[in-house]
């Protein structure tokens, strides 16, 4: 009986796509995994089907980069850095070679659009796919995205997740996950250490992994100081836009006269918070401290400069580009957690004396 690729995968305890990558040598694979696959090949006396192998390698020079909103600096920075790496290819001597065409796919945050783009990239036999930013949550969508990416990987497409949680892809994707929980916990912890006890929070859009993880980090910091009981009352829904920050701040100020600090789910919303406070005749940070998240380029130029959490967006995007081009090895276990660093600036200070 002829031994198949699936037989080798079963013996090695990996996916068929991983076996294909080991045999083709066209994708970074952990040394221990490679050794298991090669041992299974030897034990089963597997013979590569040259014709099938040639077809599997017939990917295009196209790499898809999926973003929620290219006009948002959060996504624009990552996409730009990834595109530069993809276009330049491998550097050698005085020139470059092996560059590919990066196509930025703007989903508008729509889960259905994300699936549609993945289908189109599969039809184009894309050489690689980078999916950026938080994931739309829900079992059905998660399963659908996982299935799409697994199919792309099995066809020879390199898959990289940048800034979103890992998916159960059995080593068929490299993941650069942002530490949103840890960053949010440190940010709110900073305000608590300054003495704030009445802290409002404005969330990101509903049913997004980034929104949930940042809110969980915020509430964990409150729980650390015995303030979990007020967390829900002082949380208002929003999105990552300036208008949402403005509306959310007004709602919080109306609900809590003793409010001394507001945390917004990102820097853009934090600018809206500052506008609402100015409108009420309140000073930042003398009356109310304000903090954001992401450390977008304008944060340091805001008046006052924003306390925030820095995500290395350019570095993460560039690394995703190298991974999708096969110029950097996948992290151990396929997942690398990108550190979120607290940056304290003039928009936060101790609460006013009562």
Per-position b or e across 176-202, b if 16+ CB within 10 A of its CB: bbbbbbbbbbbbbbbbbebebebbbbb
- DSSP per residue over 163-213, as a string? SS---S-TTSSEEEEE-HHHHHHHHHHHHHHHT---EEEE--STTBHHHHH
Confidence of residue 230 (pLDDT cuts 50, 70, 90): confident
C-alpha distances out from residue 67 to 126, 129, 157, Å:
16, 11, 18
CB 145 within 8 A of CB 114: yes
Statement: 5-56 belongs to CATH 1.10.260.40:
yes
pLDDT in tens, 113-146: 999 999 999 999 999 999 999 999 988 999 999 9
Question: Phi and psi of 310, rounded to 5°?
Answer: -90, 120
Q: Is the pLDDT of residue 227 over 80?
A: yes
Mean pLDDT of 290-315: 97
> Which has the higher per-residue pLDDT, 60 or 335?
335
Mean pLDDT of 221-241: 94
What would the two tokens of residue 53 be? 């192998």
C-alpha distances out from residue 131 to 115, 178, 192, 219, Å:
11, 13, 35, 28
* Closest by CA position to 98, among listed 61, 144, 123: 61
pLDDT reported for residue 89? 60
Mean pLDDT of 41-68: 73
pLDDT reported for residue 170? 81
* Closest by CA position to 133, among listed 205, 85, 59, 200: 205
Which of 32-36, 59-63, 151-155, 234-238 has the highest average model confidence (pLDDT)?
A: 234-238
Which of 1-5, 40-44, 237-241, 289-293 has the highest average model confidence (pLDDT)?
A: 289-293
pLDDT reported for residue 54? 47
- Tokens 């990917």 correspond to what residue? 59
pLDDT in tens, 91-110: 543 444 568 999 999 999 99
Mean pLDDT of 308-335: 96
* Closest by CA position to 149, among listed 298, 15, 10: 15
Helix (H, G, I), strand (E, B) or coil at 97: strand
Whole-prediction pTM value? 0.82
Question: Phi and psi of 109, rounded to 5°?
Answer: 75, 10
Same fold, 60-178+314-338 and 180-310: yes
Confidence of residue 161 (pLDDT cuts 50, 70, 90): very high
What would the two tokens of residue 44 be? 């089963």
Confidence of residue 177 (pLDDT cuts 50, 70, 90): very high
> Which has the higher per-residue pLDDT, 176 or 43?
176
Q: Is the pLDDT of residue 206 over 50?
A: yes
CATH superfamily of 60-178+314-338: Response regulator (3.40.50.2300)
Per-position b or e across 252-283, b if 16+ CB within 10 A of its CB: bbeebeebbbbbbbbbbbbbbbbebbeeeeee
Upstream peptide bond of 304 is cis (omega within 30 degrees of 0)? yes
The domain locations on the chain are 5-56, 60-178+314-338, 180-310
- CATH number of the structural domain 180-310: 3.40.50.2300
Decide: residue 52, CB within 10 A, 0-12 exposed, 13-18 middle, 19+ buried: exposed
Name which of 221-225, 299-303, 350-354 the model is least confident about. 350-354
What would the two tokens of residue 207 be? 């049913």
pLDDT reported for residue 94? 41
- Tokens 């096969």 correspond to what residue? 326
Mean pLDDT of 283-311: 97
Q: What is the mean pLDDT of the chain?
A: 91
How far apart are alpha carbons 132 and 24 in whole angstroms?
A: 27
How far apart are alpha carbons 194 and 342 in whole angstroms?
A: 14
pLDDT reported for residue 19? 83
End-to-end Cα distance, the chain: 83
pLDDT in tens, 73-96: 999 999 999 999 999 865 543 444
What would the two tokens of residue 341 be? 């660093």
Q: Which long-range contacts (CB under 8 A, 24 or more apart) does 163-166 make?
A: 163/78, 163/132, 163/133, 163/134, 163/210, 163/311, 163/313, 163/316, 163/338, 164/131, 164/132, 164/133, 164/134, 164/135, 164/209, 164/210, 165/135, 165/209, 165/213, 166/334, 166/335
- Tokens 């704030």 correspond to what residue? 196
Mean pLDDT of 240-254: 97
- Tokens 């330049």 correspond to what residue? 88
pLDDT in tens, 183-202: 999 999 999 999 999 999 99
pLDDT reported for residue 1? 65
Confidence of residue 48 (pLDDT cuts 50, 70, 90): low
pLDDT reported for residue 197? 96
Upstream peptide bond of 202 is cis (omega within 30 degrees of 0)? no
């Amino acid at each position: 009986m002829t031994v198949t690729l699936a037989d080798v995968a079963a013996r090695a305890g990996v996916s068929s796509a991983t076996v294909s990558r080991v045999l083709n040598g066209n994708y970074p694979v952990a040394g221990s995994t490679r050794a298991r696959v090669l041992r299974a090949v030897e034990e089963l006396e597997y013979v590569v089907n040259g014709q099938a192998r040639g077809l599997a390698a017939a990917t295009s020079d196209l790499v898809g980069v999926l973003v929620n909103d290219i006009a948002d600096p959060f996504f624009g920075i990552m996409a730009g850095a990834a595109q530069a790496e993809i276009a330049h290819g491998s550097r050698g001597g005085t020139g470059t070679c092996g560059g590919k065409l990066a196509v930025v796919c703007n989903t508008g945050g729509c889960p259905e659009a994300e699936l549609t783009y993945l289908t189109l990239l599969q039809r184009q036999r894309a050489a690689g796919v980078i999916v950026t930013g938080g994931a739309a949550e829900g079992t059905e969508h998660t399963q659908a995205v996982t299935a799409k990416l697994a199919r792309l990987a099995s066809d020879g497409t390199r898959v990289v997740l940048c800034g979103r949680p890992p998916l159960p892809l059995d080593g068929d994707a490299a993941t650069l996950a942002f530490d949103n929980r840890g960053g949010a916990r440190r940010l709110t912890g900073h305000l608590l250490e300054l003495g704030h006890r009445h802290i409002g929070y404005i969330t990101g859009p509903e049913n997004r992994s980034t929104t949930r993880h940042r809110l969980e980090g915020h509430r964990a910091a409150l729980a650390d100081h015995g303030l979990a009981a007020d967390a829900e009352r002082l949380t208002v829904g929003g999105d990552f836009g300036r208008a949402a920050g403005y509306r959310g701040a007004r709602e919080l100020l109306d609900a809590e006269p003793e409010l001394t600090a507001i945390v917004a789910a990102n820097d853009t919303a934090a600018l809206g918070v500052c506008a609402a406070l100015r409108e009420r005749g309140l000073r930042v940070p003398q009356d109310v401290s304000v903090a954001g998240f992401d450390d977008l380029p304008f944060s340091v130029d805001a008046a006052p400069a924003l306390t925030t959490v820095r995500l290395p967006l350019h570095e993460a995007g560039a690394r995703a580009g190298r991974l999708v081009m096969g110029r950097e090895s996948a992290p151990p276990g396929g997942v690398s957690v990108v550190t979120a660093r607290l940056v304290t600036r003039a928009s936060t200070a101790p609460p006013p004396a009562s």
